[in-house]
Amino acid sequence: MAKHKQRTLNRDEDRNFGELTGKFKNNIYGTTKGQLREAVLQRDLTQQVPWLGIDLTKTVLDVGGGQGQLALFLAQLGHAVTLVDISEEMLAQAQRQADALGVSEQITLIHAPLQALPDLALGQFDLVMCHAVLEWLSEQQQALSLLTQRLTPDGFLSLMYYNRAAQRMANMVYGNFDYVRNGLKVKQKVGLSPNRPLEPADVDHWLSQLPLQKRVQSGVRCFHDYLRDPSKASDGFDALLELELKYNQQEPYASLGRYTHLVLKHLTTPSNT
């Protein structure tokens, strides 16, 4: 049975997805969007983290990992994974999946938000993952610092964030000119729309102040979200996935992905770049 530690730290300004677990499962994880996302993340990690496919046991921290798709993938490769999430419902879903896959002994589940990391005394990890979390937080730069502090020397940070520039581009394509003119703001946020999309230039600036070196940048859903009806694309999903993986590390396509995925390495000495 995986260890499930209960921790609570209220952050009224940030979003708890407990009430949206079902929507996430149906509208993201179980769709072509989710399949593209997982394919890109797995490809990038496999290419950039040298020990991932080797018969070694490394430590992984998945912050805001929700139902644990990537955590379970890494646990199945033999690594020791700690999954931290603010939603008890999503952690329960991750627990059921871990039990079904027989990897419960390799996963520790902790109920807590990202901001609680300094209080959890978790130590440092060979790989820290934080995917689609920053855009729901108010203190985004501080969150990057907290994540970096959890890295071992020469550890890797896998970061994915909602790309405000791509959101702007997509809404121009859709003809939502008023929405773009108003700074992509609406009176009331609804559904699964992120509260605080990030400008890539801001993220690059914040990361430049941390002991991190970018290894790769990929766009996530570079083409998918610009299709009027993805279900009617010629040759289907497999052809779309092939093209996404072929072009999503090349410009200008990488910068057009609805999400941006970065793999960064923790530097033991300051970078000259």
pLDDT at 184: 85
Residue 60: beta bridge partners?
81, 127
Residues 84-99: what's their mean pLDDT? 95
For 3-266, CATH number? 3.40.50.150
Which of 19-23, 49-53, 194-198, 242-246 shows the lowest per-residue confidence on average (mean pLDDT)?
19-23
Say what percent of the chain tops pLDDT 70. 83
Rounded to an integer, what distance in angstroms lies between the CA atom of residue 4 and that of residue 141? 28
Rounded to an integer, what distance in angstroms lies between the CA atom of residue 4 and that of residue 162? 29
| Residues 67 and 100: beta-carbon distance below 8 Å | no
pLDDT at 269: 62
Binding-site residue positions: 37, 64-65, 85, 131
Rounded to an integer, what distance in angstroms lies between the CA atom of residue 62 and that of residue 90? 13
pLDDT, tens only, 241-265: 999 999 999 999 999 999 999 999 9
pLDDT, tens only, 47-91: 999 999 887 899 999 999 999 999 999 999 999 999 999 999 999
Q: What is the maximum span of the chain, computed from C-alpha positions, in angstroms?
A: 54
Phi, psi for residue 83 in degrees, rounded to 5? -110, 120
Closest CA to 146 of 109, 115, 186: 115
pLDDT level of residue 144 (50, 70, 90 thresholds): very high
Say yes or no to pLDDT of 188 above 60: no
Rounded to an integer, what distance in angstroms lies between the CA atom of residue 34 and that of residue 27? 8
Say yes or no to pLDDT of 193 above 90: no
Say yes or no to pLDDT of 125 above 60: yes
Pairing mode, strands 125-131 and 80-85: unpaired
pLDDT at 245: 96
Pairing mode, strands 80-85 and 59-63: parallel
Query: Residue 162: helix, strand or coil by DSSP?
Result: strand
Higher pLDDT, 3 or 219: 219
Binding-site residue positions for S-adenosyl-L-methionine: 37, 64-65, 85, 131
What lies within 8 Å, CB to CB, of 164 at 6+ separation is 184, 197, 198, 199, 200
pLDDT at 234: 63
**Omega before 50 cis (within 30°)?**
no
Residue extents of the structural domains in the chain: 3-266
DSSP one-letter code for 54:
S
Higher pLDDT, 255 or 15: 255
